[in-house]
Amino acid sequence: MATTYDIAMKQTEAQQEGRAAVIVVENLRKTFGIHKVLDGINLSVDRGETLAVLGRSGTGKSVLLRLIIGLETPDSGSICIRGQNIAGLALDRMGEIRKKMGFLFQHAALYDSLTVAGNVAFPLEHHRKDMSTSERGDLIRQLLVEVGMGGSMEKMPSDISGGMQKRVGLARALALEPEILLLDEPTAGLDPISSGEIDDLILKLQHERQMASIVVTHDLHSAKTIANRLALLDKGNVVIEGTFEDLQESDIEFVREFLKQS
Amino acid sequence: MSDHGVIAVEGINPSIPKRRAEAMPSAANSGVKLMNRFFEWFGSLGIFCWKVLRAAVTPPYEWRELIRQLDEVGSKSFPLIALAGAAIGVVISMEARYSLTRFGAKSMFPATLVYSVIQVMGPIMTGLIVSGRVGAGMGAELASMKVSEQIDAIEASAINPYRLLAATRILACILMLPLLTLAADATGLLTGWFAQTLVEPLSFHQFVENGFHGATFSAFLPQTFKTAVYGLIIGTIACFQGMRTRGGAEGVGRAATNSVVIASLFVILADVVLVKFILVVFP
């Protein structure tokens, strides 16, 4: 397990290199029963950077995101958000960290009893009580227009398509102006045109908001489009981490096979 | 004769006793597994209750959700409870009149009806009906939210789901059960009196005066307010079963069924304990 000293050293190194590491994951391990899902993962993401995490199904990509946002607890290792280790943090203290994070779930996970606007309003109503109703309404409208859902504010989640649900999920994730954006399979199950639109939207948001993002995806084309760096996972470990060109030039058998099949 | 219709002769067919010997540890294992699951369930329930209690007593408080749940549990259960109370009133009226007439104690009818409805039938009937209607609804709703990751989404939005979803629902059940019991009692007494009046005219004033003659608040209040404990049981079990659901549609169905079955069972057990407790504390 990484010590506080190690974490501080990493942060200092990042600062000396002119980077601002927002997420630093070190030696992260997670086991479900006898199934070892993550076996000592090391990753870091800087401000304004997008890291795409690739890998076969069941390699723990989504578990990695759930660990970062605290929905799962790691067996060992550290997850530092702006220098604070969140592994095993109490629910209330974790809440403060989570306000800086936006999470897009694989199936959007919209609240089915609320309208599209109600879904985006939900985090604002709980955390931005200083906002007036009209200010909140304006922000909700602005967020939904930004993701191309301005005309569907009063629709229920069941009345819109999967791609639209992901857009609304993205607007909800952005509501509290997060510094960190975690996207779980943002283009999974979408047609190529909708996938392209979601990719463009993520790129635009990244450009405008300069968040530190981790995108878990199977879609190599999407990863290549939206990410600065890619990390390929296999058997609970990062096999390779680098640019798309680094992956292409790699002579690791698994990397070559993965790129060939994708 | 063996299980497979083969005659087992000692020494000639040794495989059959061997198979039985192998089956014994397997039966013991399943017994141990069952015990483990039993204790694991209670352990998880304890942890769940602790999380809900901590969330409930610390701000921010979810007043709006609480009001929504009060409406969901109270107003929407009212017609069913009132109707069931009315039916019970008529049944007790008919049964009591027949029995009391046989024993020459017809004058005791109002008191019998009042005590039967308020002390016995009203509370337990309300508890069981609410555990069916509200327990199943809450269990299924939360289970559906759990399997579609909506509860995770609430947590990811830095909102404590134990505070927003569980504490509000449990509190709504605690507050609403005594009020629903009063409603069941009222309709039961009204229809009981009405059924009696159809056979043998009895003024409502006389019915009330005879029925409540010599009655004290301590005879009725504990019986009515004990249903707050039923509310605690129903809300806790339904939220616990719903929020620990795994699997898809099958898991949702299982959570709804388990919520009703376990809550109803615990309500009946609590009734036994509470009746004894009330008799001791309010003799």
Write down the ipTM of this complex: 0.87
Check pLDDT > 60 for residue A216: yes
CB A106 within 8 A of CB A71: no
Per-residue pLDDT tens digits for B28-39 = 888 888 899 889
Q: What is the pLDDT of residue A16?
A: 52
Question: Which residues from B are below 8 Å from A122, CB to CB?
Answer: 157
For chain B, what's the residue count?
283
CA dihedral A171, A176, A182, A184 (to 10 degrees): -40
Alpha carbon distance A107, B4 (integer Å): 51
B245 in the Ramachandran plot: left (φ > 0), alpha (ψ -120 to 50) or beta? beta
Classify residue B37 as exposed, middle or buried by CB count within 10 Å of its CB (0-12, 13-18, 19+). exposed
| Cα nearest neighbour of A169 on chain B | B153
CB A48 within 8 A of CB A206: yes
Q: What residues contact residue A103 under an 8 Å CB cut-off, 6+ apart?
A: A65, A69, A173, A182, A184, B153, B156
Cβ separation A71–B150 shorter than 8 A: no
Check pLDDT > 70 for residue B13: no
- DSSP, res A229: E
CB B148 within 8 A of CB B142: no
Question: Which residues from A are below 8 Å from B153, CB to CB?
Answer: 103, 105, 109-111, 172
Chain A residues with CB under 8 Å of a chain B CB are 66, 69-71, 91-92, 94-96, 98-99, 101, 103, 105-107, 109-112, 122-123, 126-127, 172, 176
Question: Which residues from B are below 8 Å from A99, CB to CB?
Answer: 158
Alpha carbon distance A201, B121 (integer Å): 62
Per-residue pLDDT tens digits for B41-63 = 999 999 999 999 999 998 889 99
Classify residue A214 as exposed, middle or buried by CB count within 10 Å of its CB (0-12, 13-18, 19+). buried
Q: What is the pLDDT of residue A176?
A: 93
Q: What is the pLDDT of residue A169?
A: 94
Q: What residues contact residue B75 under an 8 Å CB cut-off, 6+ apart?
A: none
For chain A, what's the residue count?
262
* Minimal Cβ distance to A109: which of B58, B149, B160: B149
Alpha carbon distance B259, B266 (integer Å): 11
- DSSP, res A40: E
* Band of pLDDT at residue A254, cut at 50, 70 and 90: confident
Check pLDDT > 80 for residue B23: no
Per-residue pLDDT tens digits for A60-107 = 899 999 999 999 999 999 999 988 899 878 777 888 899 999 999 999
Alpha carbon distance A127, A124 (integer Å): 5
Q: What is the pLDDT of residue A182?
A: 95
Q: Which of A123-127, A195-199, B20-24 is the least confident region?
A: B20-24
Residues 66-105 of B with CB under 8 A from A: none
Highest mean pLDDT among A13-17, A111-115, B10-14, B202-206: A111-115
**What is the average pLDDT score of chain B?**
88
Partner A contacted by B203 (CB < 8 A)? no
Highest mean pLDDT among A150-164, A209-223, B228-242: B228-242
Question: How distant is the Cα of B132 from the closest Cα of chain A, in angstroms?
Answer: 22
Question: How distant is the Cα of B205 from the closest Cα of chain A, in angstroms?
Answer: 48
Question: How distant is the Cα of A106 from the closest Cα of chain B, in angstroms?
Answer: 9
Residue B9 half-sphere exposure, CB side, CA atoms within 13 Å? 1
More confident residue, B11 or B91: B91
Alpha carbon distance B278, A203 (integer Å): 67
Check pLDDT > 60 for residue A11: no
Mutate to test the interface with A, among B157, B159, B246, B252 (most CBs of A within 10 A): B157
* Band of pLDDT at residue B21, cut at 50, 70 and 90: low
Cβ separation A101–B149 shorter than 8 A: no
Residue B178's nearest CA partner among B137, B226, B113 is B226
**What is the average pLDDT score of chain A?**
87
Alpha carbon distance B157, B150 (integer Å): 10
Looking at CATH, the fold of the domain delimited by A49-70+90-261 is given as Rossmann fold (3.40.50)
Question: How distant is the Cα of A17 from the closest Cα of chain B, in angstroms?
Answer: 32
Partner A contacted by B150 (CB < 8 A)? yes
Check pLDDT > 50 for residue B9: no
pTM above 0.80, yes or no: yes
What is the mean predicted confidence (pLDDT) over A210-215? 92
* Minimal Cβ distance to B149: which of A107, A122, A123: A107
Q: What is the pLDDT of residue A2?
A: 44
Check pLDDT > 90 for residue B216: no
Question: Which residues from A are below 8 Å from B248, CB to CB?
Answer: none
| Cα nearest neighbour of A121 on chain B | B157
Question: How distant is the Cα of A173 from the closest Cα of chain B, in angstroms?
Answer: 8
- DSSP, res B196: H
Per-residue pLDDT tens digits for B116-163 = 999 899 999 999 999 999 999 999 999 999 999 999 999 999 999 999
Question: Which residues from A are below 8 Å from B160, CB to CB?
Answer: 91-92, 95
Check pLDDT > 80 for residue A21: yes
- DSSP, res A242: E
Question: How distant is the Cα of A32 from the closest Cα of chain B, in angstroms?
Answer: 14
CB A57 within 8 A of CB A38: no
Partner A contacted by B153 (CB < 8 A)? yes
Cβ separation B153–A96 shorter than 8 A: no
* Band of pLDDT at residue A6, cut at 50, 70 and 90: low
